[in-house]
Structure 1
Amino acid sequence: MRVLGLSDIHSNVRAVEKLRGLERSEFDLLVVAGDIGNDAAATIFEILASFNCPVLYVFGNWDGRLEYDRSFGSTCHHLHMRPYAHGGFVFVGFSGLPVKWGLNPHAVRLRAEVDARHQAVLDELESLKGASSSDRAKLERSARYKAFKRDDAAADVAIIRANRRDLANLVAENDPARTIVVTHERQTKTQLDMAGVPLFLYGHRHGFEDKTHRGSRFVNVSALDNRVTVEPSDPKAADWELRNINAGGYVVIDIDESDIRVTPRQFQVNMAGLVRSKHWRLFAPAIED
Protein backbone atom coordinates (compact mmCIF):
# COMPACT_ATOMS: atom_id res chain seq x y z
CA MET A 1 0.00 0.00 0.00
CA ARG A 2 1.33 3.41 -0.99
CA VAL A 3 0.13 6.46 0.95
CA LEU A 4 0.64 10.15 0.21
CA GLY A 5 0.75 12.01 3.53
CA LEU A 6 0.41 15.77 3.93
CA SER A 7 -0.64 18.35 6.50
CA ASP A 8 -0.72 22.06 7.33
CA ILE A 9 -2.02 23.34 4.00
CA HIS A 10 -3.26 26.57 5.62
CA SER A 11 -5.66 27.37 2.72
CA ASN A 12 -2.72 27.50 0.30
CA VAL A 13 -4.42 26.23 -2.85
CA ARG A 14 -1.30 27.05 -4.89
CA ALA A 15 0.69 24.54 -2.78
CA VAL A 16 -1.89 21.81 -3.43
CA GLU A 17 -1.82 22.55 -7.15
CA LYS A 18 1.96 22.31 -7.06
CA LEU A 19 1.78 18.96 -5.26
CA ARG A 20 -0.68 17.69 -7.86
CA GLY A 21 1.68 18.69 -10.64
CA LEU A 22 4.57 16.84 -9.02
CA GLU A 23 2.87 13.55 -8.17
CA ARG A 24 1.08 11.09 -10.43
CA SER A 25 -2.05 9.14 -9.53
CA GLU A 26 -0.15 6.17 -8.15
CA PHE A 27 -1.34 6.12 -4.53
CA ASP A 28 -3.75 3.81 -2.74
CA LEU A 29 -4.65 6.49 -0.20
CA LEU A 30 -4.12 10.14 0.63
CA VAL A 31 -3.95 11.11 4.32
CA VAL A 32 -4.33 14.75 5.40
CA ALA A 33 -3.35 15.34 9.03
CA GLY A 34 -5.21 18.60 9.56
CA ASP A 35 -4.90 22.36 9.03
CA ILE A 36 -6.63 22.31 5.67
CA GLY A 37 -8.14 25.79 5.88
CA ASN A 38 -11.74 26.84 6.50
CA ASP A 39 -12.43 28.88 3.37
CA ALA A 40 -10.39 26.86 0.87
CA ALA A 41 -11.33 23.36 2.02
CA ALA A 42 -13.77 22.57 -0.80
CA THR A 43 -11.28 23.63 -3.48
CA ILE A 44 -8.45 21.72 -1.82
CA PHE A 45 -10.45 18.49 -1.59
CA GLU A 46 -11.53 18.86 -5.21
CA ILE A 47 -7.87 18.89 -6.26
CA LEU A 48 -6.92 16.01 -3.96
CA ALA A 49 -9.84 13.93 -5.25
CA SER A 50 -8.24 14.05 -8.71
CA PHE A 51 -5.71 11.48 -7.46
CA ASN A 52 -8.57 8.98 -7.88
CA CYS A 53 -8.13 7.28 -4.52
CA PRO A 54 -9.69 7.69 -1.06
CA VAL A 55 -8.73 10.87 0.80
CA LEU A 56 -8.71 10.43 4.60
CA TYR A 57 -8.48 13.52 6.79
CA VAL A 58 -8.75 15.06 10.23
CA PHE A 59 -9.18 18.72 11.17
CA GLY A 60 -6.62 20.92 12.92
CA ASN A 61 -6.57 24.42 14.36
CA TRP A 62 -7.03 26.04 10.91
CA ASP A 63 -10.33 24.17 10.49
CA GLY A 64 -12.35 25.54 13.39
CA ARG A 65 -15.43 26.42 11.30
CA LEU A 66 -15.66 23.18 9.33
CA GLU A 67 -18.64 20.99 10.24
CA TYR A 68 -17.76 17.43 11.14
CA ASP A 69 -20.51 15.94 8.98
CA ARG A 70 -19.79 18.07 5.92
CA SER A 71 -19.21 16.09 2.74
CA PHE A 72 -16.30 16.98 0.48
CA GLY A 73 -17.15 14.29 -2.05
CA SER A 74 -17.69 10.55 -2.21
CA THR A 75 -13.97 9.71 -2.04
CA CYS A 76 -13.24 11.94 0.98
CA HIS A 77 -13.59 10.41 4.45
CA HIS A 78 -13.43 12.32 7.74
CA LEU A 79 -11.58 10.05 10.18
CA HIS A 80 -12.96 11.62 13.35
CA MET A 81 -14.04 8.50 15.29
CA ARG A 82 -14.91 6.85 11.97
CA PRO A 83 -12.51 4.00 11.17
CA TYR A 84 -11.61 3.39 7.53
CA ALA A 85 -10.31 -0.03 6.44
CA HIS A 86 -7.95 -0.27 3.49
CA GLY A 87 -5.14 -2.57 2.42
CA GLY A 88 -5.43 -4.78 5.49
CA PHE A 89 -5.14 -1.83 7.90
CA VAL A 90 -7.68 0.29 9.75
CA PHE A 91 -7.12 4.06 9.88
CA VAL A 92 -8.55 5.86 12.93
CA GLY A 93 -8.23 9.38 14.30
CA PHE A 94 -9.81 12.45 15.84
CA SER A 95 -10.05 16.11 14.86
CA GLY A 96 -9.08 19.24 16.78
CA LEU A 97 -6.46 19.96 19.39
CA PRO A 98 -6.21 22.01 22.60
CA VAL A 99 -5.17 25.28 20.94
CA LYS A 100 -8.42 25.27 18.93
CA TRP A 101 -10.99 22.49 19.12
CA GLY A 102 -13.37 24.05 16.62
CA LEU A 103 -16.57 22.00 16.29
CA ASN A 104 -15.19 18.90 18.00
CA PRO A 105 -18.31 17.31 19.59
CA HIS A 106 -16.76 16.78 23.03
CA ALA A 107 -15.49 20.37 23.01
CA VAL A 108 -18.86 21.80 21.98
CA ARG A 109 -20.65 19.87 24.74
CA LEU A 110 -18.18 20.59 27.54
CA ARG A 111 -17.75 24.26 26.62
CA ALA A 112 -21.54 24.69 26.63
CA GLU A 113 -21.69 23.19 30.13
CA VAL A 114 -19.03 25.64 31.38
CA ASP A 115 -20.79 28.59 29.73
CA ALA A 116 -24.13 27.60 31.27
CA ARG A 117 -22.62 27.48 34.76
CA HIS A 118 -20.97 30.87 34.35
CA GLN A 119 -23.41 32.77 32.14
CA ALA A 120 -23.45 35.74 34.52
CA VAL A 121 -19.68 36.17 34.20
CA LEU A 122 -19.87 35.87 30.41
CA ASP A 123 -22.62 38.49 30.29
CA GLU A 124 -20.52 40.80 32.43
CA LEU A 125 -17.50 40.29 30.18
CA GLU A 126 -19.65 41.17 27.18
CA SER A 127 -20.91 44.32 28.87
CA LEU A 128 -17.33 45.42 29.61
CA LYS A 129 -16.28 45.48 25.97
CA GLY A 130 -14.98 48.97 25.37
CA ALA A 131 -14.85 49.71 29.11
CA SER A 132 -11.71 50.78 30.93
CA SER A 133 -9.02 48.22 31.68
CA SER A 134 -9.50 48.87 35.41
CA ASP A 135 -13.14 47.72 35.22
CA ARG A 136 -12.14 44.48 33.54
CA ALA A 137 -9.26 44.01 36.00
CA LYS A 138 -11.72 44.33 38.87
CA LEU A 139 -13.85 41.54 37.43
CA GLU A 140 -10.82 39.35 36.81
CA ARG A 141 -9.87 39.63 40.49
CA SER A 142 -13.30 38.41 41.59
CA ALA A 143 -13.97 34.93 42.95
CA ARG A 144 -16.68 34.27 40.35
CA TYR A 145 -14.30 35.04 37.48
CA LYS A 146 -11.57 32.83 38.94
CA ALA A 147 -14.10 30.01 39.31
CA PHE A 148 -15.00 30.43 35.63
CA LYS A 149 -11.33 30.24 34.58
CA ARG A 150 -10.79 27.11 36.71
CA ASP A 151 -13.77 25.43 35.06
CA ASP A 152 -12.56 26.57 31.65
CA ALA A 153 -9.11 25.05 32.23
CA ALA A 154 -10.65 21.84 33.56
CA ALA A 155 -12.76 21.61 30.39
CA ASP A 156 -9.56 21.69 28.28
CA VAL A 157 -8.28 18.65 30.16
CA ALA A 158 -11.64 16.87 29.94
CA ILE A 159 -11.91 17.46 26.17
CA ILE A 160 -8.54 15.91 25.36
CA ARG A 161 -9.19 13.02 27.73
CA ALA A 162 -12.57 12.29 26.14
CA ASN A 163 -11.17 12.33 22.60
CA ARG A 164 -8.18 10.25 23.62
CA ARG A 165 -10.42 7.73 25.40
CA ASP A 166 -12.67 7.32 22.37
CA LEU A 167 -9.66 6.93 20.09
CA ALA A 168 -8.09 4.29 22.35
CA ASN A 169 -11.39 2.40 22.39
CA LEU A 170 -11.43 2.35 18.59
CA VAL A 171 -7.89 0.99 18.55
CA ALA A 172 -8.86 -1.71 21.05
CA GLU A 173 -11.90 -2.69 18.98
CA ASN A 174 -9.63 -3.43 16.05
CA ASP A 175 -6.28 -5.19 15.89
CA PRO A 176 -3.78 -2.60 17.19
CA ALA A 177 -1.03 -4.16 15.08
CA ARG A 178 -3.12 -3.44 11.97
CA THR A 179 -4.20 0.07 13.01
CA ILE A 180 -2.81 3.42 11.86
CA VAL A 181 -3.64 6.51 13.95
CA VAL A 182 -4.02 9.97 12.37
CA THR A 183 -4.29 13.15 14.48
CA HIS A 184 -3.23 16.74 13.95
CA GLU A 185 -1.12 16.87 17.09
CA ARG A 186 1.34 14.13 18.02
CA GLN A 187 0.01 11.79 20.68
CA THR A 188 2.27 10.98 23.64
CA LYS A 189 2.45 8.10 26.13
CA THR A 190 0.68 5.91 23.63
CA GLN A 191 2.08 2.78 25.27
CA LEU A 192 -0.51 3.29 28.02
CA ASP A 193 -3.64 2.94 25.87
CA MET A 194 -2.57 2.32 22.25
CA ALA A 195 0.32 -0.11 22.62
CA GLY A 196 1.07 -2.12 19.52
CA VAL A 197 -0.03 0.50 16.98
CA PRO A 198 2.72 0.47 14.33
CA LEU A 199 2.25 3.97 12.89
CA PHE A 200 1.07 7.37 14.14
CA LEU A 201 0.74 10.16 11.54
CA TYR A 202 0.43 13.81 12.54
CA GLY A 203 1.28 17.40 11.57
CA HIS A 204 1.06 20.72 13.45
CA ARG A 205 4.79 20.81 14.21
CA HIS A 206 5.99 22.13 10.87
CA GLY A 207 8.76 19.99 9.44
CA PHE A 208 9.38 16.33 8.75
CA GLU A 209 10.04 13.96 11.64
CA ASP A 210 10.31 10.18 11.73
CA LYS A 211 10.97 8.55 15.09
CA THR A 212 10.42 5.13 16.62
CA HIS A 213 9.52 4.76 20.29
CA ARG A 214 8.57 1.56 22.08
CA GLY A 215 7.86 -0.23 18.83
CA SER A 216 5.64 2.48 17.31
CA ARG A 217 6.58 4.80 14.46
CA PHE A 218 5.73 8.51 14.78
CA VAL A 219 5.83 10.45 11.51
CA ASN A 220 5.25 14.16 11.08
CA VAL A 221 4.11 14.26 7.46
CA SER A 222 5.52 17.80 7.05
CA ALA A 223 3.83 21.12 6.27
CA LEU A 224 2.71 21.58 2.68
CA ASP A 225 2.58 25.32 3.38
CA ASN A 226 5.97 26.16 4.87
CA ARG A 227 6.79 29.79 4.19
CA VAL A 228 10.40 30.93 4.15
CA THR A 229 10.99 34.70 4.11
CA VAL A 230 13.74 35.77 1.72
CA GLU A 231 15.58 38.94 0.74
CA PRO A 232 18.12 39.80 -1.98
CA SER A 233 21.64 38.51 -1.47
CA ASP A 234 22.78 41.95 -2.68
CA PRO A 235 22.09 44.33 0.22
CA LYS A 236 22.04 47.27 -2.24
CA ALA A 237 19.05 45.95 -4.16
CA ALA A 238 16.53 48.77 -4.49
CA ASP A 239 12.73 48.78 -4.45
CA TRP A 240 12.49 45.29 -2.96
CA GLU A 241 10.45 44.15 -0.01
CA LEU A 242 10.53 40.90 1.88
CA ARG A 243 9.02 37.94 0.01
CA ASN A 244 7.95 34.42 0.95
CA ILE A 245 8.95 31.22 -0.80
CA ASN A 246 7.07 28.02 -0.02
CA ALA A 247 9.55 25.33 0.98
CA GLY A 248 6.75 22.95 1.85
CA GLY A 249 6.99 19.19 2.07
CA TYR A 250 5.03 15.96 2.29
CA VAL A 251 5.76 12.24 2.58
CA VAL A 252 5.28 9.04 0.63
CA ILE A 253 4.70 5.99 2.81
CA ASP A 254 5.05 2.44 1.51
CA ILE A 255 3.50 -0.20 3.76
CA ASP A 256 3.76 -3.94 3.32
CA GLU A 257 3.55 -6.96 5.58
CA SER A 258 7.13 -6.63 6.83
CA ASP A 259 8.07 -2.97 6.63
CA ILE A 260 7.01 0.68 6.65
CA ARG A 261 9.14 2.95 4.46
CA VAL A 262 8.77 6.71 4.76
CA THR A 263 10.21 9.02 2.09
CA PRO A 264 10.09 12.79 2.68
CA ARG A 265 9.71 15.01 -0.37
CA GLN A 266 10.11 18.78 -0.52
CA PHE A 267 9.26 21.50 -3.00
CA GLN A 268 12.32 22.71 -4.86
CA VAL A 269 12.72 26.47 -4.50
CA ASN A 270 14.75 28.85 -6.65
CA MET A 271 17.02 30.85 -4.35
CA ALA A 272 19.06 32.48 -7.13
CA GLY A 273 19.99 35.97 -5.95
CA LEU A 274 18.18 35.45 -2.64
CA VAL A 275 19.07 34.54 0.93
CA ARG A 276 16.89 33.53 3.85
CA SER A 277 15.93 36.63 5.82
CA LYS A 278 16.26 37.04 9.56
CA HIS A 279 12.97 38.96 9.43
CA TRP A 280 10.10 36.50 9.10
CA ARG A 281 6.91 37.95 7.63
CA LEU A 282 3.82 35.75 7.57
CA PHE A 283 1.89 37.93 5.14
CA ALA A 284 4.75 39.01 2.89
CA PRO A 285 4.01 38.70 -0.85
CA ALA A 286 4.73 35.27 -2.27
CA ILE A 287 7.20 34.49 -5.01
CA GLU A 288 5.49 32.12 -7.46
CA ASP A 289 8.09 29.52 -8.36
Structure 2
Amino acid sequence: MKMSPPAWVILALGYFVALCCKNAFGVTVTSDNTDVKVIEFGEVILSCKYRLEKEQTVRLEWKKVSYNGDISFVYFNKSLAGNLQTRAEMMDSSIRIRNVTRSDSGKYRCEVSAPQDKKNFQEILIELNILVAPSVPVCDIPSSAMSGTVVELKCKESEGYPASQYKWYKNGVLLDHPGPNSKAANISYRVNEKTGTLQFNTVTKDDSGEYYCEANNSIGKAQRCIAKKMQVDDLNIPGIIAATVIVALVILLCGCGVFFAHKRGYFSRGKPSEKERSDKYTSKSESDFKHTKSFVI
Protein backbone atom coordinates (compact mmCIF):
# COMPACT_ATOMS: atom_id res chain seq x y z
CA MET A 1 0.00 0.00 0.00
CA LYS A 2 1.41 3.37 -1.09
CA MET A 3 1.38 6.04 1.61
CA SER A 4 1.48 9.80 0.96
CA PRO A 5 3.94 11.93 2.99
CA PRO A 6 2.58 13.77 6.02
CA ALA A 7 1.18 17.25 5.53
CA TRP A 8 3.87 18.89 7.65
CA VAL A 9 6.57 17.43 5.36
CA ILE A 10 4.87 18.95 2.31
CA LEU A 11 4.56 22.34 4.05
CA ALA A 12 8.18 22.24 5.12
CA LEU A 13 9.36 21.48 1.60
CA GLY A 14 7.23 24.27 0.18
CA TYR A 15 8.59 26.75 2.70
CA PHE A 16 12.14 25.68 1.91
CA VAL A 17 11.62 26.11 -1.85
CA ALA A 18 10.03 29.52 -1.37
CA LEU A 19 12.88 30.62 0.87
CA CYS A 20 15.47 29.49 -1.67
CA CYS A 21 13.69 31.25 -4.51
CA LYS A 22 13.42 34.42 -2.48
CA ASN A 23 17.14 34.39 -1.75
CA ALA A 24 17.97 33.57 -5.38
CA PHE A 25 15.80 36.34 -6.80
CA GLY A 26 15.96 38.88 -4.02
CA VAL A 27 17.11 41.52 -6.57
CA THR A 28 15.32 42.09 -9.87
CA VAL A 29 16.95 44.35 -12.50
CA THR A 30 15.12 45.80 -15.54
CA SER A 31 15.64 48.50 -18.19
CA ASP A 32 13.35 50.70 -20.28
CA ASN A 33 15.54 50.17 -23.36
CA THR A 34 18.38 47.69 -23.88
CA ASP A 35 19.13 48.72 -27.49
CA VAL A 36 19.87 52.44 -27.44
CA LYS A 37 20.70 54.51 -30.54
CA VAL A 38 21.51 58.21 -30.48
CA ILE A 39 23.04 60.68 -32.94
CA GLU A 40 26.58 61.78 -32.17
CA PHE A 41 26.92 64.78 -29.82
CA GLY A 42 23.39 64.22 -28.51
CA GLU A 43 22.16 63.11 -25.09
CA VAL A 44 21.18 59.65 -23.88
CA ILE A 45 19.89 57.88 -20.76
CA LEU A 46 21.01 54.34 -19.99
CA SER A 47 18.12 53.00 -17.99
CA CYS A 48 18.68 50.57 -15.11
CA LYS A 49 16.06 49.87 -12.46
CA TYR A 50 16.09 47.34 -9.65
CA ARG A 51 13.55 45.98 -7.15
CA LEU A 52 14.30 44.31 -3.81
CA GLU A 53 12.29 41.53 -2.19
CA LYS A 54 13.32 42.86 1.20
CA GLU A 55 14.91 46.00 2.51
CA GLN A 56 18.67 45.76 2.46
CA THR A 57 21.76 47.63 1.33
CA VAL A 58 22.74 47.09 -2.30
CA ARG A 59 25.88 47.70 -4.30
CA LEU A 60 25.46 49.31 -7.73
CA GLU A 61 28.15 49.16 -10.43
CA TRP A 62 28.24 50.08 -14.12
CA LYS A 63 30.81 48.57 -16.48
CA LYS A 64 31.48 49.10 -20.17
CA VAL A 65 32.33 46.22 -22.49
CA SER A 66 33.90 47.63 -25.66
CA TYR A 67 33.55 45.89 -29.03
CA ASN A 68 37.11 44.56 -28.76
CA GLY A 69 36.29 42.88 -25.43
CA ASP A 70 37.93 45.34 -23.01
CA ILE A 71 36.04 45.95 -19.72
CA SER A 72 36.26 49.23 -17.83
CA PHE A 73 34.41 50.79 -14.88
CA VAL A 74 31.80 53.47 -15.59
CA TYR A 75 30.34 53.81 -12.10
CA PHE A 76 32.12 52.35 -9.08
CA ASN A 77 32.14 53.07 -5.37
CA LYS A 78 29.39 55.70 -5.81
CA SER A 79 31.42 57.71 -8.31
CA LEU A 80 31.52 58.08 -12.11
CA ALA A 81 34.83 57.22 -13.78
CA GLY A 82 36.98 58.86 -16.45
CA ASN A 83 35.69 61.71 -18.61
CA LEU A 84 32.10 60.84 -17.69
CA GLN A 85 32.62 62.80 -14.47
CA THR A 86 32.29 66.04 -16.49
CA ARG A 87 29.49 65.06 -18.92
CA ALA A 88 27.36 62.48 -17.10
CA GLU A 89 25.26 62.19 -13.98
CA MET A 90 23.46 59.46 -12.04
CA MET A 91 19.67 59.39 -12.01
CA ASP A 92 19.01 56.91 -9.20
CA SER A 93 20.54 53.80 -10.74
CA SER A 94 20.43 55.06 -14.37
CA ILE A 95 23.10 57.13 -16.16
CA ARG A 96 22.47 60.26 -18.19
CA ILE A 97 25.28 61.09 -20.66
CA ARG A 98 25.57 64.39 -22.55
CA ASN A 99 27.58 65.13 -25.71
CA VAL A 100 28.05 61.48 -26.65
CA THR A 101 30.79 60.57 -29.11
CA ARG A 102 31.48 57.50 -31.22
CA SER A 103 33.97 56.34 -28.57
CA ASP A 104 31.01 55.87 -26.19
CA SER A 105 29.65 53.04 -28.35
CA GLY A 106 29.66 49.65 -26.67
CA LYS A 107 27.78 47.42 -24.26
CA TYR A 108 27.06 48.74 -20.75
CA ARG A 109 26.42 46.34 -17.90
CA CYS A 110 24.40 47.42 -14.88
CA GLU A 111 25.18 45.16 -11.89
CA VAL A 112 23.16 45.18 -8.66
CA SER A 113 24.14 42.97 -5.73
CA ALA A 114 23.10 42.58 -2.09
CA PRO A 115 26.20 41.89 0.02
CA GLN A 116 24.08 40.50 2.87
CA ASP A 117 22.85 37.67 0.63
CA LYS A 118 25.61 36.33 -1.61
CA LYS A 119 23.10 34.83 -4.04
CA ASN A 120 21.35 38.15 -4.61
CA PHE A 121 23.20 39.37 -7.71
CA GLN A 122 21.52 40.48 -10.94
CA GLU A 123 22.69 42.37 -14.02
CA ILE A 124 21.34 43.68 -17.31
CA LEU A 125 23.17 44.48 -20.55
CA ILE A 126 22.44 47.63 -22.54
CA GLU A 127 23.92 48.23 -26.00
CA LEU A 128 24.66 51.82 -26.99
CA ASN A 129 25.24 52.69 -30.67
CA ILE A 130 26.26 56.20 -31.68
CA LEU A 131 24.91 57.19 -35.08
CA VAL A 132 27.52 59.07 -37.14
CA ALA A 133 27.01 60.98 -40.38
CA PRO A 134 29.22 59.89 -43.31
CA SER A 135 32.50 61.64 -44.07
CA VAL A 136 33.62 62.81 -47.51
CA PRO A 137 34.30 59.61 -49.49
CA VAL A 138 37.57 58.90 -51.25
CA CYS A 139 37.09 58.12 -54.96
CA ASP A 140 39.41 56.27 -57.32
CA ILE A 141 38.52 57.32 -60.89
CA PRO A 142 40.94 56.63 -63.77
CA SER A 143 41.62 59.62 -65.98
CA SER A 144 41.83 57.49 -69.15
CA ALA A 145 40.86 54.05 -70.40
CA MET A 146 40.87 52.02 -73.61
CA SER A 147 37.57 50.96 -75.13
CA GLY A 148 36.69 47.30 -74.78
CA THR A 149 38.49 46.88 -71.45
CA VAL A 150 37.13 46.29 -67.92
CA VAL A 151 37.19 49.47 -65.80
CA GLU A 152 36.29 49.80 -62.10
CA LEU A 153 35.66 53.04 -60.23
CA LYS A 154 35.88 52.87 -56.42
CA CYS A 155 34.31 54.94 -53.63
CA LYS A 156 34.73 54.50 -49.85
CA GLU A 157 34.21 56.28 -46.53
CA SER A 158 34.85 54.69 -43.11
CA GLU A 159 33.33 56.98 -40.44
CA GLY A 160 29.59 56.70 -40.97
CA TYR A 161 27.41 54.50 -38.76
CA PRO A 162 25.38 52.70 -39.86
CA ALA A 163 27.43 51.86 -42.95
CA SER A 164 26.89 54.20 -45.87
CA GLN A 165 25.14 53.40 -49.13
CA TYR A 166 26.77 54.67 -52.34
CA LYS A 167 25.47 56.25 -55.54
CA TRP A 168 27.38 57.16 -58.71
CA TYR A 169 26.73 60.14 -61.00
CA LYS A 170 27.89 60.83 -64.55
CA ASN A 171 27.83 64.45 -65.69
CA GLY A 172 25.53 65.19 -62.74
CA VAL A 173 23.00 62.48 -63.66
CA LEU A 174 22.38 59.51 -61.34
CA LEU A 175 23.39 56.18 -62.82
CA ASP A 176 20.44 53.84 -62.44
CA HIS A 177 20.99 50.30 -61.27
CA PRO A 178 20.79 47.87 -64.18
CA GLY A 179 17.80 45.55 -63.96
CA PRO A 180 17.10 42.18 -65.59
CA ASN A 181 16.82 43.88 -69.01
CA SER A 182 20.22 45.57 -68.78
CA LYS A 183 21.55 43.68 -71.82
CA ALA A 184 18.59 44.68 -73.91
CA ALA A 185 19.04 48.29 -72.81
CA ASN A 186 22.73 48.10 -73.78
CA ILE A 187 23.85 48.88 -70.22
CA SER A 188 27.40 47.68 -69.63
CA TYR A 189 27.98 48.85 -66.05
CA ARG A 190 27.14 47.56 -62.58
CA VAL A 191 26.77 49.63 -59.37
CA ASN A 192 27.30 48.07 -55.93
CA GLU A 193 25.59 50.23 -53.31
CA LYS A 194 27.30 48.49 -50.38
CA THR A 195 30.92 48.43 -51.59
CA GLY A 196 30.75 51.66 -53.60
CA THR A 197 32.12 50.23 -56.85
CA LEU A 198 31.08 51.16 -60.39
CA GLN A 199 32.26 48.52 -62.85
CA PHE A 200 32.17 48.62 -66.65
CA ASN A 201 32.41 45.18 -68.23
CA THR A 202 33.37 46.65 -71.61
CA VAL A 203 33.88 50.40 -71.51
CA THR A 204 33.16 52.42 -74.67
CA LYS A 205 33.77 55.97 -75.88
CA ASP A 206 30.21 56.83 -74.86
CA ASP A 207 31.23 56.21 -71.23
CA SER A 208 33.57 59.21 -71.30
CA GLY A 209 32.45 61.89 -68.87
CA GLU A 210 32.75 63.43 -65.41
CA TYR A 211 32.07 61.04 -62.52
CA TYR A 212 31.58 61.43 -58.78
CA CYS A 213 30.23 59.31 -55.92
CA GLU A 214 27.84 60.12 -53.07
CA ALA A 215 27.78 58.44 -49.62
CA ASN A 216 24.66 58.54 -47.46
CA ASN A 217 23.39 56.71 -44.35
CA SER A 218 20.38 58.95 -43.52
CA ILE A 219 22.31 60.50 -40.59
CA GLY A 220 23.20 64.07 -41.43
CA LYS A 221 23.98 65.32 -44.92
CA ALA A 222 25.08 63.08 -47.79
CA GLN A 223 28.72 63.58 -48.78
CA ARG A 224 30.28 63.42 -52.25
CA CYS A 225 33.81 63.24 -53.59
CA ILE A 226 35.34 65.66 -56.09
CA ALA A 227 34.20 65.00 -59.66
CA LYS A 228 36.84 63.72 -62.08
CA LYS A 229 36.77 63.23 -65.84
CA MET A 230 37.39 59.82 -67.41
CA GLN A 231 38.34 59.79 -71.11
CA VAL A 232 37.79 56.59 -73.08
CA ASP A 233 39.69 56.20 -76.39
CA ASP A 234 39.36 53.58 -79.11
CA LEU A 235 42.23 51.20 -79.66
CA ASN A 236 44.17 52.36 -82.80
CA ILE A 237 44.58 49.00 -84.57
CA PRO A 238 45.94 50.41 -87.89
CA GLY A 239 48.49 52.49 -86.00
CA ILE A 240 49.64 49.48 -83.97
CA ILE A 241 50.02 47.38 -87.17
CA ALA A 242 51.96 50.15 -88.92
CA ALA A 243 54.28 50.59 -85.94
CA THR A 244 54.88 46.83 -85.79
CA VAL A 245 55.74 46.69 -89.51
CA ILE A 246 58.14 49.63 -89.19
CA VAL A 247 59.93 48.05 -86.24
CA ALA A 248 60.20 44.75 -88.12
CA LEU A 249 61.69 46.50 -91.21
CA VAL A 250 64.21 48.38 -89.06
CA ILE A 251 65.33 45.14 -87.39
CA LEU A 252 65.59 43.41 -90.82
CA LEU A 253 67.64 46.25 -92.34
CA CYS A 254 69.98 46.33 -89.35
CA GLY A 255 70.50 42.55 -89.66
CA CYS A 256 71.26 42.78 -93.40
CA GLY A 257 73.72 45.62 -92.81
CA VAL A 258 75.60 43.66 -90.18
CA PHE A 259 75.73 40.61 -92.49
CA PHE A 260 77.15 42.49 -95.50
CA ALA A 261 79.62 44.40 -93.33
CA HIS A 262 80.90 41.16 -91.91
CA LYS A 263 81.03 39.66 -95.42
CA ARG A 264 83.21 42.51 -96.72
CA GLY A 265 85.53 42.25 -93.73
CA TYR A 266 84.77 45.59 -92.13
CA PHE A 267 84.79 43.97 -88.72
CA SER A 268 88.28 42.41 -89.35
CA ARG A 269 90.16 45.60 -90.41
CA GLY A 270 93.40 46.16 -88.51
CA LYS A 271 93.82 42.45 -87.88
CA PRO A 272 96.41 40.35 -89.86
CA SER A 273 94.98 38.03 -92.48
CA GLU A 274 95.49 34.30 -92.53
CA LYS A 275 98.18 34.65 -95.23
CA GLU A 276 100.06 37.35 -93.32
CA ARG A 277 100.03 35.26 -90.17
CA SER A 278 101.29 32.22 -92.14
CA ASP A 279 104.16 34.14 -93.84
CA LYS A 280 105.24 35.64 -90.57
CA TYR A 281 105.35 32.23 -88.91
CA THR A 282 107.37 30.74 -91.81
CA SER A 283 109.92 33.59 -91.79
CA LYS A 284 110.40 33.31 -88.08
CA SER A 285 110.92 29.52 -88.31
CA GLU A 286 113.60 29.87 -91.04
CA SER A 287 115.44 32.55 -89.07
CA ASP A 288 115.50 30.36 -85.99
CA PHE A 289 116.74 27.41 -88.09
CA LYS A 290 119.65 29.42 -89.58
CA HIS A 291 120.67 30.69 -86.21
CA THR A 292 120.70 27.18 -84.79
CA LYS A 293 122.70 25.79 -87.74
CA SER A 294 125.32 28.50 -87.39
CA PHE A 295 125.69 27.75 -83.72
CA VAL A 296 126.20 24.03 -84.37
CA ILE A 297 128.98 24.59 -86.94
TM-score range, shorter chain: under 0.3
TM-score (normalised: structure 1): 0.18
Higher strand share: 2
Q: TM-score, normalised by structure 2?
A: 0.17
